[in-house]
C-alpha cells in the first residue's frame, strides 16, 4: 500500500511531469509557428512580387478600369491562358490586389468557371497605366531580367561586399542602362513614379518661397522641380542630369505642355522658368545665377559609397562658392547670402522596428556601387567631411512618406 506521503510525492511528480510536457509542447508549437512563418515569407514574397510584375506587364488593371470582367474576357484581351490567369488573380486577391466578385447561387452550383469575374481594388487601381499615382512602371522595373538576376545573386554581395548587378549582368547598373535604352526608360519612369508619390508632401514640408532659384541635381525627368516651380511662381529652376535623362525630361515637359490644355499657360510659364542642363555631377555642377538659391539632391546619395558621395557634395560646394563669389562681385554692399543644400533622402533609424529603408538598403547593396541608406550620424559624418554643416532635419509627419529633408549650409 502507498502511504499518504508516497501519494503526495507521486502527485508532485505527476504535476512536474505535466509542467515539463506542457513546456515542451508550447516550445514545439512556437517553433512550428516560426517555421511556418519563415516558409510563408519565402513562398509569398517572391511569388507576390512576380505576380504583380506579371499583371502590370499584361495591363490587367487597365482592362478592368470600366468595371468587373470575366476571366475569359481578361484572358482574351491579355492573350493568356484563362484558368492560369484565374489562379494568379485569385492569389493576388487574397492580399488585396484585385477582388473576385461573388457569383450568383445558380452559377456557383453549376460550376460555370466562365462566369468568374474580377474587379479593381484601391491597390489594384494603382497598377493602371494612366492612374494619377500609378506605380505600374515601378512594378515593371521589378520584372526586368537584369534586375532579378541581381537580386537572385544577392549572396555574391553578402560574400564580397560588391554589387551583384555588375556580377550578374557584366556592367554597373548605370552603364547597363546607357546601353539598354528600353530598360533605361522603364527605370527612369519607375523613378518618376516614385517621385510623383512624394512631391506633394515634400513641397508641403519645406518653404521654397525664401529662394529665387532651385537647382535639382540628378533630377531625372524633373517631376519634383516642375512641381516646385508650379507652386512657387517667383522661382527659376535648373534641372541637371546626364544627357539621356535630360532628353527624357524634354519629351515629358513638351508632352505635358501640349496635352494639359486646361493648364497650358501654367505649363508654358514653368518651361520659361526652367533651364535643362546636361552634365555629370562627378565632374562639375552648374552654379546658380542667384545667391538666394537651394541645391536639391534627392535620392542620389543613397546610390553611392561615401567616397563617391563626397565627390558629388564637394562639386556642389564648389558651385555654391561660385554663386557666392558672383553675388559678392555684383554688389559689395549686399549682405552675404549662403545658398542652401537640401538632401532629400531616407534616414535609417536605430533599432529593430520594421522600416522600408531596411529593405531599400539591401537593394542598394545589390544594385549599386556600395550605395546604402545612412543613419543620421552617418549623414553628419559625410556632410562634415565634405564641407557642410547640417542646419536642420525635417521629417515627414506621415508614416507613408519615408523621406526626410536634410538642410545643410557650407561650413563657416
Q: How much is the pLDDT for 4?
A: 53
Q: Mean pLDDT over all residues of the chain?
A: 86
Average pLDDT over residues 364-391: 96
Grade residue 113 by pLDDT with cuts at 50, 70 and 90.
Answer: low
- What does the alpha-carbon distance between residue 42 and residue 91 come to, in Å, rounded to a whole number? 15
Q: How much is the pLDDT for 29?
A: 66
- What does the alpha-carbon distance between residue 286 and residue 186 come to, in Å, rounded to a whole number? 28
**CATH domain 9-128 topology:** Arc Repressor Mutant, subunit A (1.10.10)
Written as nine digits, the cell of 114 is 466562365
- The 3-state secondary structure of 249-278 reads HHHHHHHHHHHCHHHHHHHHHHHHCEEEEE
User: What does the DSSP assignment read for 146-189?
Assistant: HHHHHHHTHHHHHHHSS-HHHHHHSS-HHHHHHH-HHHHHHHHH
Domain boundaries, the chain: 9-128, 180-410
Short-list 217, 231, 344, 226, CA closest to 287:
217
Average pLDDT over residues 255-278: 69
Grade residue 110 by pLDDT with cuts at 50, 70 and 90.
Answer: very low
The stretches of 59-104 forming alpha helices (DSSP H) are 60-63, 71-78, 82-93
Short-list 228, 233, 342, 349, CA closest to 294:
342
Other beta carbons within 10 Å of 304:
19
Short-list 297, 304, 122, CA closest to 202:
297
Average pLDDT over residues 1-30: 59
Q: How much is the pLDDT for 285?
A: 96
Q: How much of the chain exceeds pLDDT 70, in percent?
A: 82
Contacting residues for 234 by C-beta, under 8 A, at least 6 apart = 209, 212
Average pLDDT over residues 46-57: 94
Number of H helices, E strands in the chain: 18, 11
Angle at 65 between CA 60 and CA 71, to 5 degrees: 45
More confident residue, 333 or 242: 242
Q: How much is the pLDDT for 369?
A: 87
Length of the chain: 412
CA distances from 169 to 146, 164, 165, 334 (A): 6, 8, 6, 54
Residue 62 CA from chain centroid, whole number: 22
Contacting residues for 76 by C-beta, under 8 A, at least 6 apart = none
Q: How much is the pLDDT for 258?
A: 47
Q: How much is the pLDDT for 39?
A: 74
- What does the alpha-carbon distance between residue 78 and residue 57 come to, in Å, rounded to a whole number? 10
Q: Is the pLDDT of residue 36 over 80?
A: no
- What does the alpha-carbon distance between residue 309 and residue 341 come to, in Å, rounded to a whole number? 14
Grade residue 157 by pLDDT with cuts at 50, 70 and 90.
Answer: very high
- What does the alpha-carbon distance between residue 368 and residue 36 come to, in Å, rounded to a whole number? 33
The listed CATH number (1.20.120.1200, 3.40.50.150, 3.10.250.10, 1.10.287.110) that belongs to domain 180-410? 3.40.50.150
- Fold match flag (9-128 vs 180-410): no
Average pLDDT over residues 79-103: 94
Q: How much is the pLDDT for 397?
A: 79
Q: How much is the pLDDT for 261?
A: 46
Q: How much is the pLDDT for 38?
A: 77
Q: How much is the pLDDT for 249?
A: 85
- Which tens digit of pLDDT belongs to each residue from 309-356? 999 999 999 999 998 887 666 555 455 567 999 999 999 998 898 898
Q: Is the pLDDT of residue 146 over 70?
A: yes
Q: Is the pLDDT of residue 148 over 60?
A: yes
Average pLDDT over residues 247-267: 62
Ranges of beta strands (E only) in 209-363 are 213-217, 236-241, 274-278, 293-298, 340-348
Amino acid at each position: 500500500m502507498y502511504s499518504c506521503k508516497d501519494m503526495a510525492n507521486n502527485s508532485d511528480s505527476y504535476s512536474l511531469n505535466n509542467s515539463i510536457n506542457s513546456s515542451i509542447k508550447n516550445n514545439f508549437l512556437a517553433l512550428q509557428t516560426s517555421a511556418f512563418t519563415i516558409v510563408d515569407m519565402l513562398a509569398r514574397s517572391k511569388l507576390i512580387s512576380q505576380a504583380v510584375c506579371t499583371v502590370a506587364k499584361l495591363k490587367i488593371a487597365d482592362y478592368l478600369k470600366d468595371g468587373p470582367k470575366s476571366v475569359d474576357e481578361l484572358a482574351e484581351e491579355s492573350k493568356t491562358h484563362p484558368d492560369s490567369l484565374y489562379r494568379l488573380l485569385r492569389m493576388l486577391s487574397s492580399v488585396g490586389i484585385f477582388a473576385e466578385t461573388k457569383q450568383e447561387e445558380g452559377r456557383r452550383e453549376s460550376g460555370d468557371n466562365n462566369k468568374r469575374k474580377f474587379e479593381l481594388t484601391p491597390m489594384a487601381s494603382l497598377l493602371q497605366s494612366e492612374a494619377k499615382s500609378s506605380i505600374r512602371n515601378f512594378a515593371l522595373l521589378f520584372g526586368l531580367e537584369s534586375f532579378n538576376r541581381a537580386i537572385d545573386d544577392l549572396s555574391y554581395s553578402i560574400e564580397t561586399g560588391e554589387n551583384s548587378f555588375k556580377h550578374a549582368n557584366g556592367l554597373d547598373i548605370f552603364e547597363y542602362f546607357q546601353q539598354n535604352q528600353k530598360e533605361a526608360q522603364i527605370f527612369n519612369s519607375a523613378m518618376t513614379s516614385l517621385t510623383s508619390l512624394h512631391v506633394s508632401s515634400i513641397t508641403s514640408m519645406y518653404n521654397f518661397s525664401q529662394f529665387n532659384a532651385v537647382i535639382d541635381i540628378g533630377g531625372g525627368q524633373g517631376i519634383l522641380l516642375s512641381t516646385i516651380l508650379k507652386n512657387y511662381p517667383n522661382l527659376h529652376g535648373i534641372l541637371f542630369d546626364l544627357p539621356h535623362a535630360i532628353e527624357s525630361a524634354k519629351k515629358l515637359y513638351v508632352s505635358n505642355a501640349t496635352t494639359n490644355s486646361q493648364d497650358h499657360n501654367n505649363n508654358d510659364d514653368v518651361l520659361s522658368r526652367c533651364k535643362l542642363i546636361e552634365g555629370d555631377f562627378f565632374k562639375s555642377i552648374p552654379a546658380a545665377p542667384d545667391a538666394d538659391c537651394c541645391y536639391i539632391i534627392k535620392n542620389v546619395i543613397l546610390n553611392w559609397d561615401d567616397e563617391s558621395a563626397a565627390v558629388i557634395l564637394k562639386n556642389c560646394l564648389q558651385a555654391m562658392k561660385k554663386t557666392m563669389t558672383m553675388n559678392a562681385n555684383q554688389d559689395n554692399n549686399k549682405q552675404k547670402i549662403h545658398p542652401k543644400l537640401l538632401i532629400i533622402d531616407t534616414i535609417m533609424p536605430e533599432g529593430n522596428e520594421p522600416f522600408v529603408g531596411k529593405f531599400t538598403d539591401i537593394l542598394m547593396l545589390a544594385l549599386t556601387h556600395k550605395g546604402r541608406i545612412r543613419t543620421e550620424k552617418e549623414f553628419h559624418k559625410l556632410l562634415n567631411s565634405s564641407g557642410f554643416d547640417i542646419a536642420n532635419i525635417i521629417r515627414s509627419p506621415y508614416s507613408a512618406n519615408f523621406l526626410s529633408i536634410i538642410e545643410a549650409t557650407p561650413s563657416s
